Amino acid sequence: MRALIAAVGLLALAACADGAGQADQIARQTAKGVVNNVLSAQYPGVDVSPVTDCVIDNATGAEVLQIAQAAVVGSTTQTTQLVLGIAQRPESVRCIAEKTLTAGNILGALGTL
Protein backbone atom coordinates (compact mmCIF):
# COMPACT_ATOMS: atom_id res chain seq x y z
CA MET A 1 0.00 0.00 0.00
CA ARG A 2 2.85 2.41 0.88
CA ALA A 3 4.45 1.76 -2.51
CA LEU A 4 1.17 2.58 -4.24
CA ILE A 5 0.87 5.83 -2.30
CA ALA A 6 4.48 6.69 -3.15
CA ALA A 7 3.90 5.96 -6.82
CA VAL A 8 0.78 8.11 -6.87
CA GLY A 9 2.70 10.89 -5.14
CA LEU A 10 5.51 10.74 -7.66
CA LEU A 11 3.03 10.73 -10.55
CA ALA A 12 1.21 13.72 -9.07
CA LEU A 13 4.50 15.54 -8.69
CA ALA A 14 5.41 14.70 -12.26
CA ALA A 15 2.01 15.91 -13.49
CA CYS A 16 2.60 19.27 -11.83
CA ALA A 17 5.94 19.68 -13.56
CA ASP A 18 6.24 21.48 -16.88
CA GLY A 19 6.72 18.53 -19.21
CA ALA A 20 8.43 15.18 -19.07
CA GLY A 21 11.89 16.74 -18.84
CA GLN A 22 11.15 18.36 -15.49
CA ALA A 23 9.47 15.20 -14.20
CA ASP A 24 12.59 13.24 -15.12
CA GLN A 25 14.80 15.79 -13.37
CA ILE A 26 12.67 15.63 -10.22
CA ALA A 27 12.81 11.84 -10.17
CA ARG A 28 16.58 11.85 -10.80
CA GLN A 29 17.24 14.38 -8.02
CA THR A 30 15.08 12.40 -5.61
CA ALA A 31 16.80 9.16 -6.60
CA LYS A 32 20.24 10.77 -6.17
CA GLY A 33 19.50 11.36 -2.50
CA VAL A 34 18.54 7.72 -2.03
CA VAL A 35 21.58 6.44 -3.96
CA ASN A 36 23.87 8.72 -1.97
CA ASN A 37 22.43 7.40 1.30
CA VAL A 38 22.74 3.76 0.19
CA LEU A 39 26.34 4.20 -0.95
CA SER A 40 27.29 6.20 2.15
CA ALA A 41 25.95 3.39 4.34
CA GLN A 42 27.94 0.83 2.35
CA TYR A 43 31.14 2.90 2.26
CA PRO A 44 31.25 5.15 5.34
CA GLY A 45 33.71 8.01 5.24
CA VAL A 46 34.05 7.93 1.44
CA ASP A 47 32.91 10.77 -0.84
CA VAL A 48 30.36 8.82 -2.86
CA SER A 49 28.98 11.75 -4.88
CA PRO A 50 30.87 10.82 -8.10
CA VAL A 51 29.61 7.25 -7.79
CA THR A 52 26.07 8.49 -7.14
CA ASP A 53 26.12 10.45 -10.41
CA CYS A 54 27.38 7.40 -12.31
CA VAL A 55 24.67 5.17 -10.85
CA ILE A 56 21.91 7.60 -11.79
CA ASP A 57 23.36 8.19 -15.26
CA ASN A 58 23.41 4.43 -15.95
CA ALA A 59 20.02 3.55 -14.48
CA THR A 60 16.98 3.07 -16.68
CA GLY A 61 14.01 5.38 -16.28
CA ALA A 62 12.09 2.63 -14.47
CA GLU A 63 15.02 2.07 -12.11
CA VAL A 64 15.27 5.78 -11.35
CA LEU A 65 11.56 5.82 -10.43
CA GLN A 66 11.95 2.69 -8.31
CA ILE A 67 14.88 4.24 -6.44
CA ALA A 68 13.04 7.57 -6.07
CA GLN A 69 10.11 5.75 -4.45
CA ALA A 70 12.47 4.72 -1.65
CA ALA A 71 12.68 8.40 -0.68
CA VAL A 72 9.00 8.20 0.23
CA VAL A 73 8.53 4.64 1.52
CA GLY A 74 12.02 4.05 2.86
CA SER A 75 15.01 2.23 1.50
CA THR A 76 14.89 -1.57 1.50
CA THR A 77 17.28 -4.41 0.83
CA GLN A 78 15.96 -4.43 -2.74
CA THR A 79 16.87 -0.75 -3.09
CA THR A 80 20.41 -1.45 -1.90
CA GLN A 81 20.75 -4.41 -4.25
CA LEU A 82 19.45 -2.36 -7.17
CA VAL A 83 21.86 0.52 -6.50
CA LEU A 84 24.85 -1.80 -6.07
CA GLY A 85 23.85 -3.76 -9.17
CA ILE A 86 23.72 -0.60 -11.28
CA ALA A 87 27.10 0.47 -9.86
CA GLN A 88 28.63 -2.81 -11.06
CA ARG A 89 27.52 -2.46 -14.67
CA PRO A 90 30.41 -1.98 -17.11
CA GLU A 91 29.22 1.52 -18.09
CA SER A 92 28.99 2.52 -14.43
CA VAL A 93 32.42 1.09 -13.62
CA ARG A 94 33.94 3.08 -16.50
CA CYS A 95 32.17 6.23 -15.32
CA ILE A 96 33.30 5.71 -11.72
CA ALA A 97 36.89 5.14 -12.85
CA GLU A 98 36.86 8.29 -14.98
CA LYS A 99 35.42 10.42 -12.17
CA THR A 100 37.55 9.07 -9.32
CA LEU A 101 40.92 8.21 -10.87
CA THR A 102 42.51 11.57 -11.38
CA ALA A 103 46.23 12.04 -11.88
CA GLY A 104 46.61 13.10 -8.24
CA ASN A 105 44.81 10.02 -6.99
CA ILE A 106 46.93 7.73 -9.16
CA LEU A 107 50.18 9.38 -8.09
CA GLY A 108 49.07 9.26 -4.46
CA ALA A 109 48.25 5.57 -4.76
CA LEU A 110 51.59 4.85 -6.40
CA GLY A 111 53.35 6.68 -3.58
CA THR A 112 51.81 4.32 -1.01
CA LEU A 113 53.08 1.16 -2.75
Question: For residue range 60-97, what is the model confidence (pLDDT) as tens digits?
Answer: 999 999 999 999 999 999 999 999 999 999 999 999 99
Residues 6+ apart with CB under 8 A from 51: 39, 87, 96, 99, 100
Q: What is the value of pTM for the model shown?
A: 0.72
More confident residue, 13 or 113: 13
CA dist 24 and 19 (Å) reads 9
